[in-house]
Structure 1
Amino acid sequence: MPSAPPPDWILRRRRIVGDRIRDARLHANLTQEKLAELAGLDRQSINRIEQAAASPKLDNLFRIADALQVPLSDLVR
């Protein structure tokens, strides 16, 4: 049985986190490819997270925050 889609408030927050990651990436003058390389992920994963098409694992958020050299709390507040 497929799981139900997340509620709208979850999707809104996911979009906010994706926007914050994209903003921090652009502020650091990084491409999605370079951020992916620094974080040990693939570019498609970064793109899906920034576009709110995927819900990132906590470990991947740690990797992204570390690669961007920002506190995780800046991305998920």
Structure 2
Amino acid sequence: MPRLPPPTERVTGRRRAIGEQIRAARLHANLTQEAVALRIDMRLATYSDIEQGHSSPLLDTLIRVADAIGVPLSHLVREE
């Protein structure tokens, strides 16, 4: 299977922006990173990497995060 090229600056920038939107929604819901990670059955370090924009979560993971926080998926990935 061929390897994908490294992400462009636009992609890494959007990944960081999505992580920031997840963090803001989580804080608005008065949840800790640990609480969300537990709700979605994910290691805390892995969840933290998502919020920091260090990893590219699968769509299924983003859906689980949105459900755990109690917001629509579109709230986490919208561009402003």
Aligned AA (1:40): D
Q: Return 5+ residue gaps in structure 2 as ranges.
A: none
Q: What percentage of residue pairs aligned between the two structures are identical? A: 49
TM-score when normalising by structure 2:
0.89
Aligned AA (1:28): A
Show the counterpart of 1:74: 75
Contact 1:21 1:75 in 2 (8 A): yes
d(CA) in 1 for partners of 2:43, 2:64: 12
1:30 aligns with 2:8: no
Q: Return 5+ residue gaps in structure 1 as ranges.
A: none
Show the counterpart of 2:40: 39
DSSP-derived class of the 1:56 partner? coil
Contact 1:40 1:63 in 2 (8 A): no
Superposition CA RMSD, Å:
1.3
DSSP-derived class of the 1:49 partner? helix
DSSP-derived class of the 1:52 partner? coil
User: What does residue range 48-59 of structure 1 map to in structure 2 within 5 Å?
Assistant: 48-59=49-60
Show the counterpart of 1:14: 15
TM-score when normalising by structure 1:
0.92
Deviations 1:31-77 (A, max 9, x none): 11111011221111111001110000111001000000100000011
